[in-house]
Structure 1
């Protein structure tokens, strides 16, 4: 495959009632631009007796980006946020020096309804000099994100910059995340509109690149400057993400990310000792793995 550096296949794993497809990190590719972790949630049917209940857990040195395709999730965090995210909206939590949160099915959906939950949980590593900034939370509705149409494709700029547009999501390094939905066949041009490394995530449908047809459940990875001719098939759903890679390697342990392994040891101890920033009046607690 001449100019596509790698194809990453989604690897499924169970977390409670969810089947989650892990796309990053991958043993041959730890990051794509500043993106260091991508989980594909579902699609999973919930109710009437099983719901999403992810207990209080920590993050450090990164920002979390939640993007839902179907279903709602209630996010609560140690910053004081309580926010329901709906399909097409963005939850952006800058964990920085430390934040905790829970993710649950909202109470109004727990009355015996059966519904589908489907979305992406994404971590974006922070630059070296911003790993310990103060935590923040931002929410943007689907209507607040830039949208446009080009030929047979409809675009939404979820985060960052691309195609001469800018998302309101306050990112901390040059990156992009873009949703594309096609009605007919579409010739994708990224070279003139994006920079850095690129991941082409196939949610539905397929992509033809370098003479190969790649179907849903895979990510194509390359440098934008090296991407060969890429055609998205009709009725496909694609996510593009990536950006400029950092000059330093990033280390990851559980939900913690840093350029410095010593810092990971410190936050591990803080979580174990419960001196990490915690949510008020939230008794749940996910222990450090391996203890």
Structure 2
């Protein structure tokens, strides 16, 4: 009997000049552990006249995790942060009670250079009692993330805990996100190594799980406690992610996440009225959807 709970296929949509593949939330699976939203950015070619410009927009009740595979982004926010993110490093922004930010192609790359941009924008819901904490921003360079090899597979612990290791990303609940790349066929075992629900996001290549072959652009959802052995094929890149589910349901509207619909309603009104925490050096503004 297969213990693959669900295979989620990437649904593509356009955001300006980016083709983004929405992986979760999905109708049959709203969250995987505390992970509530995953967007696959690209891969797309930028330059010489087309660049990434995501104008100022708000968040509450979550942490954002930006993980680039190719290309670079300049992050700026209402805390005064300005941080360039490069492939393999992590930008971790805790929205908490409210933060605004932008994501743009760095100025020095707007010189006619042609380059690829490819990465993941991930939202992690905060525990109920921490939804209103003060916003924070953390940048963790690629060199600080735990890395190891096992046979033909190379592992990087992007966030959380797993395989007896801990990432320096300051998460707020039990979770994990692990990048795995294979040079040859590899049998992945997660039992006893990870805690909570698990999603396997196939970035490139393919896997075989419980007798089914699953290719790039899909997420396989299972539970660590009863997951079957996964065969990762040669030249495949995966992201394992998940963790302990939060006990309460989470509501999501646009960029706002909370267990309390009233908090979301207040955030919507604050953004509409422009009383939400705003950036000092950027007057761009993404209107509330529907206005």
User: TM-score, normalising length from structure 1?
Assistant: 0.99
Q: Distance in 1 between matches of 2:166 and 2:283?
A: 39
Q: 1:262: which partner in 2?
A: 262
- How far is the alpha carbon of 1:290 from its aligned partner? 1.0
Distance (Å, rounded) in 2 between the aligned partners of 1:88 and 1:170? 17
Structure 2 unaligned segments of length 5 or more: list them. none
Superposition map of 1:1-291 within 5 A: 2-291=2-291
Deviation above 3 Å: which 4+ runs of structure 1? none
Contact 1:4–1:226 (8 Å) recurs in 2 = no
Contact 1:97-1:131 at 8 Å conserved across structures: yes
Q: Quote how far apart the aligned CAs of 1:281 are.
A: 2.4
The separation in 1 between residues aligned to 2:263 and 2:81, in whole angstroms, is 26
Partner-residue secondary structure (3-state), 1:264 = helix
Deviation at 1:272, TM superposition (A): 0.4
1:228, distance to aligned residue in structure 2 (A): 1.1
* In structure 1, distance between residues paired with 2:236 and 2:148: 16
Cα distance in 1 for residues equivalent to 2:226 and 2:288: 40
Asked if 2 retains the 8 angstrom alpha-carbon contact of 1:63 and 1:95, the reply is yes
CA RMSD of aligned residues (A): 0.6
After superposition, the C-alpha distances for 1:208-267 in whole angstroms (9 at most, x for unaligned) are: 000011000000001111211211001100000000001100000000000011111011
Paired with 2:146 and 2:229, the residues of 1 have a C-alpha distance of 25
Task: Give the C-alpha shift of residue 178 in structure 1.
Answer: 0.2
Unaligned runs of 5+ in 1: none
How many residue pairs end up in the alignment?
Answer: 291
Q: Secondary structure at the match of 2:160?
A: strand
Q: Does the CA contact (< 8 Å) of 1:158 and 1:167 recur in 2?
A: yes
Alignment partners' CA distance in 2, 1:11 and 1:206: 18
Q: TM-score, normalised by structure 2?
A: 0.99
Give the distance between the partners of 2:100 and 2:281, measured in 1 at CA: 13
CA distance in 1, matches of 2:92, 2:36: 15
SS of the residue aligned with 2:265? Answer: helix
